Amino acid sequence: MNPSEMTSNTQNMPLYKPQEPVFPRRVNGKFRTLKWWIMGVTLGIYYITPWIRFDRGPGMPDQAVLIDLAGRRFFMFWIEIWPHEFYFVAGLLIMAGIGLFLFTSAFGRVWCGYACPQTVWTDLFILVERWIDGDRNARIRLWQKKWTLDKILRRTVKYTLWLKIGLLTGGAWVFYFADAPTLALSLFNGTAPMVAWISIMVLTMTTFCFGGFMREQVCTYMCPWPRIQAAMMDEETLTIGYRFWRGEPRGKHQRREDNSGLGDCVDCSACVNVCPMGIDIRDGQQLECITCALCIDACDDVMRRLNRPRGLIDYLALSDQSREIAGGAPRPVWRHVLRPRTMVYTALWALIGIGLVYALFVRSEVEFTVAPVRNPVFVTLADGSLRNIYEFRLRNKTGMPVTFQLGVDSTVDDMQMLVNGVAGTTVTVAADSISVRRVYLDVPASSEATKQHVSQVIFWIDSNTDDDRHYVQSVFNGRERR
């Protein structure tokens, strides 16, 4: 940029600016239709999911999706995640992250424009607003008008409806963390726990403020994603763009006059009026643009009425710009989407997904881990024999009590195994719970193992749930220290 193009006004320089109100106009078109569908599906999933029932047998919650924080269990249909299996959640989060990379490198901020809760709820709030106040021009007029009874009434109705949406949103959230029908009942008769009320209140107010008043401010100033996106996009990324080589010079086309000096853009401002971010896409890709594609719909509608080809504003890639200016046709979408970068992302995404699904299928209903006690490493017993202590963690993830038979394989002679708290080596673990047992390995003073550093041992368990014997390798520590 040329320094002469910069101005500096140190005397009267505002460092802060008031929020400029945005009144997006209603628009129809294929992208708007797609967005209505996405809104319906995502909001439907969000509000309905906690109410889906799923029979898990007696004593278990019958809610299909439940995050049981107190019981430290995460239920999702037939999948039950215990705290030690949190890597499933971590894996899902990594998949979500890579998925975001994939979609951003292929289609720019498609997440922001279509699926982000901020966009979806703002769309819903604008829908209500349009219903109460009318479309863009009526809303501008109402905004400029003095506070008359009509305005007060309309504002009251609008805010009430917004609050109700907010309340439903916050209300649906808490149902993921407790049995939905029980909690709903306790909310109605006032016996619900304080944390439920606070969660609902906070989420109601954030939904109300973010959807009703903050809107584009959240995306532009609060969200970090717009700033991170730039690193994910390249010249092949399809983002919303303006074919200025076709549109410029813009100007009003006059009937019965020669408009040949003008481009296709009739400067009707339709793209600006429908923009929920209040920007002019003809200025090029910019930080504020969430690629919601409503300007494409608006412009296509105008072009259709002017009998011009659609796509003056369209999903464009930077790499096609010079080709199109030279008169070439844009390359097909798949050429932009299928390239090494997106394929690497897809491969990574799929690999983690396959890994998670595999882990889900091979994980056992019963598990055991062995932690050798290091404090102390060994205990000398009265008869001179050496004792090692191990902490066994027996997990029974089934809905029935499970009997575990514990054992040890070792080359050490005369090794004796004792299980604390039970006679013999059989331990019964109650349904859906963990039993921690101290297990002792005693080796007589005469054994070589007492003098050595470590001897290998292999613990095993049999359970009455399956025929497989599960093994865990460990060591027996002798007196020899290194």
Partner 1 sequence: MTGKHKDTYIKADQPVETTGHEWDGIKELNNPLPRWWLWTFYATIIWALGYMVVYPSWPLVEQATRGLFGYSSRGALEAEITRYSAANARSDAALVNGDLASIAASPELVNYAMSGGAALFRTYCAQCHGSGAAGARGYPNLLDDEWLWGGGIEDIYRTIRHGIREENDDNTRVSEMPAFAEVLEQDELADVRHYVLSLSGAPHNPSLVPSGARVYADNCASCHGETGQGDREFGAPSLVDAIWLYGGGQQNVADSIARGRKGMMPAWQTRLSESQIRQVSFYVHQLGGGE
- Residues in contact with partner 1, shown as a per-residue x/- string from 336 to 375 under the rule CB under 8 A: -------------------------------------xxx
Quick one: which of 40, 309, 328, 384 contacts partner 1 (CB under 8 A)? 384
Q: Closest CB to partner 1 among 17 and 256? A: 17
12 near partner 1 (CB under 8 A): no
Strand partners, 433: 396
Does 224 help bind partner 1 (rule: CB under 8 A)?
no
Contacts with 321 (C-beta within 8 Å, 6 or more apart), sequence order: 241, 245
CA pair distance 90, 455, nearest whole angstrom = 36
Site track for partner 1 across 174-213, x = CB under 8 A: ----------------------------------------
Cβ distance to partner 1 smaller for residue 45 or 379: 379
Distance CA 268, CA 255 (A): 15
Residue 246 or 310 with smaller CB distance to partner 1: 246
Question: With binding defined as CB under 8 A, does residue 389 bind partner 1?
Answer: yes
Q: Which of residues 27-86 bind partner 1 (CB under 8 A)?
A: none
Answer whether 466's CB lies under 8 Å from 365's CB: yes
Binding-site size for partner 1 (CB under 8 A) equals: 43
Amino acid at position 3, single letter: P
Query: What tokens appear for 372 in the block?
Result: 């050798």
Binding mask 274-313 toward partner 1 (x if CB under 8 A, else -) reads ---------xxxx---------------------------
AA identity, residue 377 = V
Q: How far apart are CA 458 and CA 454, in angstroms?
A: 13
Tokens linked to 373? 């006690």
Q: Give the x/- contact pattern for partner 1 in 107-126, rule: CB under 8 A.
A: --------------------
| Least distance from partner 1 to the Cβ atom of residue 376, Å | 4
Instruction: Tell me phi and psi for residue 428, to 5 degrees.
Output: -105, 130
Cis peptide before 249 (omega within 30 of 0): yes
Q: Residue 401, interface with partner 1 (CB under 8 A)?
A: no
Over its C-alpha atoms, the chain yields an Rg (Å, rounded) of 33
Closest approach of Cβ 83 to partner 1, in Å?
18
Whether the Cβ atoms of residue 238 and residue 106 lie closer than 8 Å to each other: yes
Does residue 481 interact with partner 1 by CB under 8 A? no
Instruction: Report the Cα 41 to chain-centroid distance in Å.
Output: 16
Cβ atoms 232, 101 nearer than 8 A = yes
Distance CA 300, CA 293 (A): 11
Structure tokens at 421: 């708290």
Comparison of 285 and 477: residue with beta carbon closer to partner 1: 285
Instruction: Tell which one of 12, 15, 257, 258 touches partner 1 (CB under 8 A).
Output: 15
Considering only residues 413 to 472 of the shown chain, the ones binding partner 1 according to CB under 8 A are 420-421, 438, 440, 445
Which two tokens mark 475?
Answer: 């060591």
**How far is 179 from 181, CA to CA, in rounded Å?**
6
For 78, left (φ over 0), alpha (ψ -120 to 50), or beta? Answer: alpha
Stretch binding partner 1 (CB under 8 A), from 89-97, 269-277, 384-392, 469-477:
384-392
- Residue 347 CB, nearest approach to partner 1 (Å): 32
Residue owning tokens 């109300």: 208
Cβ-based nearer residue to partner 1, 102 or 408: 408
Q: Which residues of 182-201 are buried (b: 16+ CB within 10 A; e: fewer)?
A: ebbeebeeeebeeebeebbe
Interacting residue with partner 1 among 156, 160, 182, 380 (CB under 8 A): 380
The residue within the footprint of partner 1, chosen from 76, 223, 352, 381 (CB under 8 A), is 381
Six token digits for residue 364: 């056992």
Considering only 168, 245, 344, 405, the residue that binds partner 1 (CB under 8 A) is: 245
Cβ 325 to partner 1 shortest distance, Å:
8
For residues 250 and 154, give the distance between their C-alpha atoms in angstroms, rounded to a whole number: 39
Work out the burial of residue 159: count CB atoms within 10 Å of its CB; fewer than 13 is exposed, 13-18 middle, 19 or more buried. Answer: middle
Member of 12, 14, 307, 334 binding partner 1 (CB under 8 A): 14
Q: How far is the CB of 385 from partner 1 (least distance, A)?
A: 8
Of 342 and 474, nearer to partner 1 (C-beta) is: 474
Taking the complex as a whole, the smallest distance from the CB of residue 348 to partner 1 amounts, in Å, to 31
Residues in contact with partner 1 by CB under 8 A are 1, 3, 5-10, 13-19, 217, 221, 244-245, 248-249, 283-286, 325, 373-376, 379-384, 387, 389, 420-421, 438, 440, 445
